């Protein structure tokens, strides 16, 4: 709920800050929604493995017969279900608040559906790298934010292209390619980082 509340509050602050002009809100809507979603997804990253590390259950998971890569993939899926999926569901309502044009809603949903899993997968790598560091939230942000930039650029680009009538297929394909690269590599990288921190 904290992630959703942060997402909603961040987006609703923009009309108050830039004014209620429909044309201005329509122009900034894709960027506002994506940046807010990105920041909201980062809120829960530092707790992804930290609680398991502190209570020793991460050691048990590493020693279990189940591969650590599979555990990492399950953690990424759980993170997306608890953060990415709610952001995906609520983003059209926030699009209405920002006066987003009707033709862009399909692209917005598709871009969020493809892009938010990448945020969880990439964020999990940063969370695994900083799991043994006390108060590693700032370091986690510094590690993850540069890796989030391609998802942000192509997510916003897809919606912008749909708004001007060009279609966002090219941007959506790049987002899909990022996801297809992250799906096999992120669990492997997360498992490797966790093993390093547990040694």
In a domain, 168, yes or no: yes
CA distance 72 to 70: 5
pLDDT for 165: 78
Q: What is the pLDDT of residues 3-22, one digit of tens each?
A: 888 888 888 888 888 877 87
The whole-number pLDDT of residue 111 equals: 92
* Residues 99-134: b if buried by 16+ CB within 10 A, e if exposed: bbeeebbebbebbbbbbbbbbbbbbbbbbbbbbbee
Query: Does residue 51 form part of some domain?
Result: no
- Domain annotation covers residue 50: no
Report the largest interatomic distance among the alpha carbons of the chain, rounded to a whole angstrom. Answer: 58
Domain count, the chain: 1
The confidence score (pLDDT) of residue 178 equals 95
Is the model more confident about 46 or about 172? Answer: 172
Please state, rounded to an integer, the average pLDDT across all residues of the chain.
Answer: 87
pLDDT at position 139: 80
**Residue 19, in any domain of the structure:** yes
pTM score, whole prediction: 0.86
Write out pLDDT tens, residues 39-97: 888 888 888 888 788 777 877 888 878 888 898 999 999 999 999 899 999 988 888 88
Within a domain: residue 18? yes
Torsion angle in degrees (nearest 10) through CA of 47, 129, 37, 173: -140
Range of the domain at 85: 2-43+58-198
In this prediction, residue 169 carries a pLDDT of: 87
* The pair of three-digit structure tokens given for residue 28, joined into one six-digit string: 């900034």
Residue 182 confidence class, pLDDT cut points 50, 70, 90: very high
What is the rounded distance in angstroms from the CA atom of residue 190 to the CA atom of residue 180?
Answer: 16
Q: Is residue 15 part of a domain?
A: yes
Q: Is the pLDDT of residue 102 over 90?
A: no
Report the alpha-carbon distance of residue 18 to residue 175 in Å, rounded.
29
Q: Is the pLDDT of residue 161 over 80?
A: yes
Is the distance from CB of 193 to CB of 128 less than 8 angstroms?
Answer: yes
Q: What is the pLDDT of residue 136?
A: 66
Distance CA 131, CA 48 (A): 9
Gap between the Cα atoms of 89 and 116, Å rounded: 12
d(CA 168, CA 171): 5
Give dist(CA 30, CA 157) in Å, integer.
Answer: 8
- Decide if 173 is inside a domain: yes
pLDDT tens digits, one per residue of 116-156: 999 999 999 988 888 877 766 778 888 889 999 999 999 99
Residue 25 lies in a domain: yes
Q: What is the mean predicted confidence (pLDDT) over 105-114?
A: 90
């Amino acid at each position: 709920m904290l992630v959703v509340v942060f997402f909603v509050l961040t987006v609703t602050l923009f009309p108050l800050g830039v004014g209620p002009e429909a044309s201005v809100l329509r122009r900034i809507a894709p960027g506002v929604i994506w940046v807010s979603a990105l920041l909201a997804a980062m809120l829960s990253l530092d707790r992804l493995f930290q609680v398991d590390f502190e209570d020793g259950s991460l050691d048990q998971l590493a020693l279990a017969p189940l591969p650590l890569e599979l555990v990492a993939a399950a953690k990424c899926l759980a993170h997306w279900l608890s953060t990415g999926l709610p952001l995906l569901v609520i983003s059209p309502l926030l699009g209405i608040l920002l006066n987003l044009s009707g033709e862009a809603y399909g692209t917005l949903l598709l871009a969020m559906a493809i892009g938010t899993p990448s945020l969880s997968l990439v964020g999990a790598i940063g969370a695994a790298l900083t799991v043994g560091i006390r108060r590693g939230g700032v370091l986690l942000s510094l590690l993850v934010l540069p890796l989030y930039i391609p998802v942000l650029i192509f997510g916003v680009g897809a919606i912008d292209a749909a708004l001007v009538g060009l279609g966002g297929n090219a941007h959506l394909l790049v987002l899909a390619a990022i996801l297809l690269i992250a799906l096999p590599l992120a669990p492997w990288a997360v498992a490797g980082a966790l093993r390093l921190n547990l040694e």
